[in-house]
């Protein structure tokens, strides 16, 4: 009888702990989502304020130096620039709520029609780089931990530090000088990406993708190595080593599953960097993505297009950071099974 009551008490405590863990996880999820929405709202507000604080008269820039004052005033009325800033901000937020970015100042066409295909090209470039960089960083990180202190570990660490130190534009121009100018293996421009055959598209993507991979590989590998080394110092890993398990099995079966939370956070943060950092790479290789469109719109003072690109990049960055937070929370065993 006493044993049955004791067992029932343990089951009850376990059920309460499970329900408490679920409630804690749900509360953390809701809090992170609310914080992400507020962060995105703040970013959208800063984007609108920053584009409206640009020096010069947008209407005069569009019409050119020979524009008369009456023509400038007429253009301002046509574009709605003669209205107060708060009115324009409210109208812009209302359009965003309906998925509209307004009309371009230069083409007078809806900005969304130009953003959608270019966003697809940017996502293809970022996904291609992530498809290579993520598994490669995991393999290099595990090799560095497996051979830590040896020549392979030192070579990987040195290469990753060099990758972190070099900016994207330097890597891009270095690859162009090597593979386009010297060896003449790959084209230096990706302007024709997506317009030809699948093989031509892969050829055009090669250098921009390699630039992005080298730009994020160093940070991802270094952080993966650090996360694995932190787990390798835990008592349960030391116990697995004392049992005589092979080092490779210890890393793959014991260390890697317990380091998955920080590794996933690192991957998500670098994926967010891929989408935003593609602006520099797309400009270097004239890749027809959203970053190149944003740079062209800045030169033309096409404010709705610049705002649309900023909102899309901000939403991607905040969304991927939010995903990293949620995955880290869900992968934390202390939150899933609180005592």
Residue 11 has pLDDT above 60, yes or no: no
pLDDT in tens, 114-136: 888 888 888 888 888 888 888 88
Mean pLDDT of 270-297: 80
Residue 338 confidence (pLDDT): 47
Gap between the Cα atoms of 286 and 279, Å rounded: 10
Residue 91 confidence (pLDDT): 83
Residue 238 has pLDDT above 50, yes or no: yes
Mean pLDDT of 250-264: 71
Mean pLDDT, the chain, integer: 76
Mean pLDDT of 31-40: 82
Residue 59 has pLDDT above 70, yes or no: no
**How does residue 17 score in pLDDT terms, banded at 50, 70 and 90?**
very low
Residue 5 has pLDDT above 50, yes or no: no
**How does residue 55 score in pLDDT terms, banded at 50, 70 and 90?**
low
Residue 15 confidence (pLDDT): 45
**122 dihedral zone (left: phi>0; alpha: psi -120 to 50; beta):** alpha
Lowest mean pLDDT among 41-55, 92-106, 183-197: 183-197
Residue 112 confidence (pLDDT): 81
Global pTM value? 0.77
Name residues whose C-beta falls within 8 Å of residue 51's C-beta, 6 or more positions apart in sequence. 303, 306, 307, 310
**How does residue 331 score in pLDDT terms, banded at 50, 70 and 90?**
low
Residue 268 confidence (pLDDT): 75
Residue 241 has pLDDT above 80, yes or no: no
Residue 68 has pLDDT above 60, yes or no: yes
Residue 22 confidence (pLDDT): 64
Mean pLDDT of 223-228: 80
- Radius of gyration, alpha carbons of the chain: 26
Residue 267 confidence (pLDDT): 77
Residue 301 confidence (pLDDT): 79
Residue 235 confidence (pLDDT): 75
Start-to-end CA span in the chain (Å): 26
Residue 82 has pLDDT above 70, yes or no: no
Residue 79 has pLDDT above 80, yes or no: no
Residue 2 confidence (pLDDT): 45
Residue 66 has pLDDT above 70, yes or no: no
Lowest mean pLDDT among 47-51, 100-104, 192-196: 192-196
Is the CATH number of domain 111-336 1.10.3720.10?
yes
């Amino acid at each position: 009888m006493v044993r049955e009551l004791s067992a029932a008490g343990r089951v009850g405590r376990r059920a309460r702990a499970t329900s408490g863990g679920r409630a804690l996880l749900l509360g953390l999820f809701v809090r992170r989502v609310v914080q992400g929405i507020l962060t995105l709202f703040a970013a959208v507000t800063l984007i609108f304020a920053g584009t409206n604080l640009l020096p010069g008269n947008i209407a005069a820039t569009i019409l050119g130096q020979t524009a008369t004052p009456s023509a400038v005033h007429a253009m301002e009325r046509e574009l709605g620039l003669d209205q107060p800033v708060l009115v324009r901000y409210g109208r812009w937020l209302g359009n965003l709520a309906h998925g509209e970015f307004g009309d371009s100042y230069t083409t007078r066409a809806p900005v969304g029609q130009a953003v959608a295909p270019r966003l697809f090209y940017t996502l293809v470039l970022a996904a291609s780089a992530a498809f290579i960089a993520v598994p490669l960083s995991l393999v290099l990180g595990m090799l560095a931990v497996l051979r830590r202190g040896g020549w392979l570990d030192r070579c990987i660490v040195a290469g990753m530090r060099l990758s972190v130190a070099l900016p994207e534009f330097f890597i891009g121009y270095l690859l162009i000088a090597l593979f386009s100018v010297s060896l003449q293996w790959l084209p230096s421009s990706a302007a024709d990406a997506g317009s030809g055959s699948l093989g031509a598209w892969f050829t055009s993507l090669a250098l921009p993708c390699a630039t992005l991979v080298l730009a994020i590989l160093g940070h991802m590998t270094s952080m993966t190595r650090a996360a694995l080394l932190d787990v390798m110092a835990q008592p349960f890993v030391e116990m697995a080593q004392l049992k005589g398990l092979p080092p490779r099995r210890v890393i793959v079966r014991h260390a890697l599953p317990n380091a998955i939370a920080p590794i996933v956070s690192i991957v998500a943060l670098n994926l967010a960097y891929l989408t935003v950092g593609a602006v520099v790479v797309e400009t270097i290789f004239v890749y027809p993505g959203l970053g190149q469109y944003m740079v062209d719109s800045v030169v033309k003072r096409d404010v709705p297009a610049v705002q649309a690109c900023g909102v899309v990049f901000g939403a991607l960055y905040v969304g991927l950071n939010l995903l990293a937070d949620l995955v880290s929370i869900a992968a934390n065993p202390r939150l899933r099974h609180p005592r």
